[in-house]
Amino acid sequence: MKYERSFEIEATTKDAEKRVEEFLAQAGYQRTSNSELKYKRGSMLGSLTSFSPRKWRASLLTRIHPLDRDRAKISVIVDVNTTGQMVTQREKDYWETEIEGFKKAIESGKISFEGLNEDHQKLTRSGWKGLWIFLGVALVVGVPAGVIASKINPAYSNVGIAVGIVAGIAAARKHWGF
């Protein structure tokens, strides 16, 4: 997923750069270039396995263009690696909220993660809840289906596994809003 935003602020380019660095450091990003405002957060493993969007691999590039002495235009591009993820609307909303928080912090010079931290915790809990729903439904449906199928014909015992997995996926998708 790629997000791009541009906005203008009342600040010198030096102040703008300081605000960008402060916000991104507190958001867990690490600077990857001395010549440009390039940052990264997360890892490939996080993108593959984590319910937390903060652990997904994200690259961020910020450009600051002076408009006049005390005004600057900020451009930001965030590229989020979603490999291994079935991205929900809630996760897309999380990224939109993080970018909007970035914009507000850079405009005002006041950094706050209050709402963003709550959204992050809800997303992570929702991910784990979906996993438990999947496992619970898969077992509750799959085991009896397997027992019944194996009573009909022992060769059909694997039917229970397939039925359980399908039922678990359906329940988890409903929980996640797919």
DSSP string spanning 13-76?
A: HHHHHHHHHHHHHHTT-EE--SSSEEEEESBHHHHHH-S-GGGB-EEEEEEEEEEETTEEEEEE
Q: From CA 65, how far away is CA 6, in angstroms rounded?
A: 10
Element (H, E) at 141: helix 114-152
Quickly state the pLDDT bin for 170 (edges 50, 70, 90).
confident
162 close to 72: Cβ distance less than 8 angstroms? no
pLDDT for residue 178 is more than 60: no
Q: From CA 66, how far away is CA 12, in angstroms rounded?
A: 7
The predicted model gives 45-56 an average pLDDT of: 85
Q: From CA 24, how far away is CA 3, in angstroms rounded?
A: 16
pLDDT for residue 1 is more than 60: yes
The predicted model gives 30-56 an average pLDDT of: 89
pLDDT for residue 119 is more than 70: no
pLDDT for residue 18 is more than 90: yes
Strands across the sheet containing 58-68: 2-9, 71-80, 58-68, 37-41, 30-31
Which residues, in sequence order, are CB contacts of 126 under 8 Å at separation 6+?
51, 90, 175, 176
11-25, 55-69, 135-149: least confidently modelled range = 135-149
Q: From CA 41, how far away is CA 60, in angstroms rounded?
A: 8
pLDDT for residue 86 is more than 90: no
pLDDT mean across residues, the chain:
85
**pTM as predicted:** 0.68
Q: Going by CATH, does the domain composed of 2-112 fall within 1.10.3470.10? A: no
The predicted model gives 77-102 an average pLDDT of: 88
Quickly state the pLDDT bin for 109 (edges 50, 70, 90).
confident
Least Cα distance to 61 among 42, 83, 41 occurs for: 41
89 close to 176: Cβ distance less than 8 angstroms? no
Quickly state the pLDDT bin for 91 (edges 50, 70, 90).
confident
What is the location of CATH 3.30.310.80 in the chain? Answer: 2-112
Quickly state the pLDDT bin for 117 (edges 50, 70, 90).
low
What is the separation, in whole angstroms, between the first and last Cα of the chain?
Answer: 18
Quickly state the pLDDT bin for 66 (edges 50, 70, 90).
very high
